[in-house]
Amino acid sequence: MSLHEWIAAATRLSASDLHIEADTPLVMRVRGELATVGAAVPAAQVAQIGRELLGEQRWGDFLARGSADLSADVASVRCRVNVFRTVRGLAIAVRLLTSSIRSLEACNLHPDLRRFTQAHSGLIVLSGPTGCGKSTTLAALVEEVNAAHARNILTIESPIEHLFANRRSFIRQREVPTHSPSYEQAIVDALREDPDVLVIGEMRTPEVMRLTLNAAETGHLVLTTMHSATCAEALYRIAMSFPAEMQGSIRAQLADCLVAVVCQQLEFIDAQGLLAPRCEVLTASSGAKGTIRAGQFSQIANVLQSGGDDGMWTFDRYQRWMQQKRDWVRPGAAPAPAPPQQRPQVEITIDDDVDLAEIARKVDDSVRRR
């Protein structure tokens, strides 16, 4: 069988991942469980698939590094692909992405998360273990901004997973290393490119974290992801990534610019037969900010427990909401996105004698009438 046929089969089985390795049977991850499919795949075929996916230039880079990341459309399915070497030879890990960008409702997320996209500046961190759907939630939040606001959105990813279409917002997507040599350089460049919203695929290094915090502190809304099991662990990892003498200022910076931390896990809903995210949500209340500044990350759990009125969710509270939820959306059943909205046009006539106060009043009246 070819890669196209394997991807098509994985799609029919609702698999999230496909694993191919030289002289090893194919493995798919279905509902979080690994399943072996078919006979061993010859090493020569795996090498041929890897070379076709990467192309000649990237193949040369792969031979030098031993691994390579890319995104591609295979069998009409958007895939994130990692090609790497193992003791058996070449291996390929394929993550099957959703064919279209889904809304928060279509992702079976709580609609309350939408309010975070109303912020004009600050930091939103999406965290969780590998494969928990962080990228899908990130794309859903970006699409919420795209549908509701006229903003300049710049994404920095490695690789690009979801392709956005301009609706009310203007979206530009950059890939590392295709369009910029590193996350660090791309973030520095982004601050000169007039973004309202900056999307950083993942915070991995202290320098990326520092630049991300600076961007959030200088008037941009920044959305990013990182690996952690809880909101407290995400904040702890950010602060502890820096030398001891810098940690106090980093905690203060983090407290000042934070909008929210959302940590999610995937949970299989037996009654519905689908995977859905279960979330922990920390908002930037005064109690949360004080706890972060003091470095008392072990107290974040108490802040979450008492923060229901501030829009916070513990995993347990969120699970109770899931148990009461009835309007589940199954994969593939998400409604088609609404057509792009026309940006509002404000018609103003300016005479020779310019009255700026009158112009401002006309703009305000036009905005209120929308």
Residue with tokens 């949500």: 281
| Residues linked to residue 19 through DSSP beta bridges, in sequence order | 27, 93
Percent of the chain with pLDDT over 70: 89
Interval 158-207: pLDDT, tens: 888 888 999 999 999 999 988 999 999 999 999 999 999 999 999 999 99
Structural domains in the chain, CATH included, are 3-96 (3.30.450.90), 111-324 (3.40.50.300)
| Residues linked to residue 274 through DSSP beta bridges, in sequence order | 269
In angstroms, the Cα distances linking 267 to 197, 311, 324 are 30, 22, 15
The whole-number pLDDT of residue 1 equals 80
Helix runs in 74-133, H state only: none
The whole-number pLDDT of residue 172 equals 96
pLDDT averaged over the chain? 88
Pair 200, 223: CB distance under 8 Å: yes
Query: Quick check: 340 pLDDT over 70?
Result: no
Between residues 93 and 357, the one the model is more confident about: 93
Interval 66-104: pLDDT, tens: 999 988 888 888 899 999 999 999 999 999 987 678 889
Least confident of 99-103, 219-223, 264-268, 343-347: 343-347
Q: How many CA atoms lie within 13 A of 204 on its CB side?
A: 7
CA nearest 174: which of 204, 203, 153?
A: 153
| Residues 283, 311: Cα–Cα separation, whole Å | 7
**What does the pLDDT average to over 258-265?**
96
**What does the pLDDT average to over 137-152?**
95
Interval 105-130: pLDDT, tens: 999 999 999 999 999 999 999 999 98
CA nearest 186: which of 241, 178, 136, 127?
A: 178
Burial (CB count <10 Å: 0-12, 13-18, 19+), residue 365 = exposed
**What does the pLDDT average to over 340-353?**
46
Pair 41, 25: CB distance under 8 Å: yes
| Residues 64, 340: Cα–Cα separation, whole Å | 44
CA nearest 28: which of 43, 42, 44, 12?
A: 12
Pair 117, 141: CB distance under 8 Å: yes
Name the band, by pLDDT with cuts 50, 70 and 90, for residue 212. very high
**What does the pLDDT average to over 259-272?**
91
Phi, psi of 83 (to 5 degrees): -105, 130
Edge-to-edge strand list for the sheet holding 67-74: 33-41, 24-30, 15-21, 89-96, 77-86, 67-74
Q: Would you call the peptide bond into 339 cis, given omega within 30 degrees of 0 as the criterion?
A: no
- pTM, 2 dp: 0.80
Vertex 135 angle, CA 130 and 139, to 5°: 170
The whole-number pLDDT of residue 344 equals 46
